[in-house]
Amino acid sequence: MATKKQIIIPIVILATGIAAMVGFSSMKKPPEEKEQVDNTPIVAVEKISVAPMTLEVNSYGMVKPKYETELIAQVNGEIVELSAVFVRGGFVKKGQLLARIDPSDYQAALLDAQASMASARAALEKEMAQGKVAEREWKQIENSSPTELSLRKPQLAQELARVKSAQASVLRAKRNLERTEIRSPYDALIDSRNVGLGSFVGVGSKIGHVLGTAVAEIRLPVADNQLAFLTKTAVTQQGVNAPVNLIGTYAGQSTQWQAHISRSEGIIDSQSRMSYLVAEINDPYLLNSGNTTGVPLRFGSYVNAKIKGYDISQATLIPRYLVVNGKVALLDSESKLHYVVIDIVRQQGSHVVVANGLADGDQLIVSALDYPVDGMKLALVVEDAEKELPTSEENSSETQMASNNKKDSGE
């Protein structure tokens, strides 16, 4: 049988263990409750603004005159007169005398031709009188019929031909005399002068070069796919008569001019693969408009052009990188992600023009999402509120306390 000692010792050990467990349990602190973490993705948005939009096609070109002429001498002779405005940069009117070739020989040739014509006419009159006399004499003869030779008709035709030849000589002499005067074919700007006073010129010699100031032209290269954004006229030519805004510099200042598309060249350049539209601007040097405050558009200027295209009633511009498979992500009224299909009209640099699919006030998500799912819950970025500045009363009390402290310290 177990002794009393063998029974008491296990009971004491068990009681001690229970007491220690209870003591340790009472000393254990309960686990702290963790705050619930909100794992909702945070996004940034921009509000969509939808409004009427006019498409534009950008291009560039150099300003050139619509008409330019190389002045060529048509007669031989010495330059005996030069106009004071016949210098590079001079403006001249249509028909204004620029230079004169010595007309002496051509005046003499005209007098000679006129004298030859007078002699031929006199011979014609004489032959006509002789023909009438011959006809009257043959009428008195009854038994024979006159021939054309006996009536002097061949002689009359010969004299008539001589008169016409003399008239042609007079016309030729007059034309050569007129060609001794070099005149401007239209209102023009003198581009160059190749002769001086006393110079001798021959037929075909270059005298000068003039640029018409009535109309200026700018050839504008346009990519073939951009023609679709220009309005079509009745003759199905894109862009014809469309307004053009020209942007360039004058005296170091950025300036704009208004022009219009006059025509399309109708072919694609074999090297650049571009179509060319021609813009025109009337009176580029403001010589006839009476505008004294405007800025002239000089020949040779480089300009950028914005060609007006067709109008879109409702459209907006959004960054291109936000479009994925023709869709964009919006934040709806319930703060959920929603994908919408958009109608992209054109790409414009780093943006695209959207005509359908977006409404005014829509919130476009502009931040990236790791795993976007349509309908997922989202949260907006909230900026930290600015710390409130101390009020005037707090400032005054702090100032008062500081002054009291200084007094107590004996300062």
343-356: average pLDDT? 89
pTM of the model: 0.70
Mention every residue, 6+ apart, whose C-beta is less than 8 A from residue 186.
67, 94, 210, 212, 214
SS3 content of the chain, % helix, strand, coil (to 5): 25, 35, 35
Alpha-carbon span 227 to 175, nearest angstrom? 50
Alpha-carbon span 261 to 269, nearest angstrom? 18
210 close to 92: Cβ distance less than 8 angstroms: yes
Mention every residue, 6+ apart, whose C-beta is less than 8 A from residue 375.
336, 337, 338
265-272: average pLDDT? 87
Pairing of strands 42-43, 379-380: parallel
Residue with more model confidence, 156 or 87? 87
Mention every residue, 6+ apart, whose C-beta is less than 8 A from residue 292.
286
Is the pLDDT at 30 greater than 90? The verdict is: no
CA proximity to 47, closest of 321, 380, 309, 352? 380
Kindly state the tokens that stand for 97. Answer: 């005398």
89 close to 346: Cβ distance less than 8 angstroms: no
Alpha-carbon span 182 to 98, nearest angstrom? 6
Alpha-carbon span 269 to 147, nearest angstrom? 72
pLDDT value of position 227: 86
pLDDT value of position 203: 93
- The angle subtended at Cα 196 by Cα 190 and Cα 202, nearest 5°, is 95
Q: Which residue blocks in 140-250 are alpha helix, DSSP H?
A: 153-178
148-177: average pLDDT? 85
Question: pLDDT (tens digit, 9 = 90+) per residue, 355-403?
Answer: 888 989 999 999 888 888 888 888 887 654 333 334 444 444 443 444 4
Alpha-carbon span 168 to 156, nearest angstrom? 19
pLDDT value of position 367: 87
Kindly state the tokens that stand for 217. Answer: 């032209």
Question: pLDDT (tens digit, 9 = 90+) per residue, 194-241?
Answer: 999 999 999 999 999 999 999 999 999 999 888 888 876 544 467 888
Kindly state the tokens that stand for 362. Answer: 């829509």
pLDDT value of position 123: 86
Cα–Cα distances in Å, from 198 out to 35, 80, 264? 105, 6, 46
Going by the DSSP 8-state scheme, the letter that residue 48 receives in this structure is -
Exposure of 131 in the CB half-sphere (CA atoms within 13 A): 18
Q: DSSP readout, 319-359?
A: EGGG-BTTEEEEE-TTSBEEEEE-EEEEEETTEEEEEES--
Question: pLDDT (tens digit, 9 = 90+) per residue, 283-301?
Answer: 999 998 777 778 999 999 9
pLDDT value of position 160: 87
Residue type, 150: S
Alpha-carbon span 176 to 188, nearest angstrom? 24
Kindly state the tokens that stand for 360. Answer: 């005014």
pLDDT value of position 143: 64
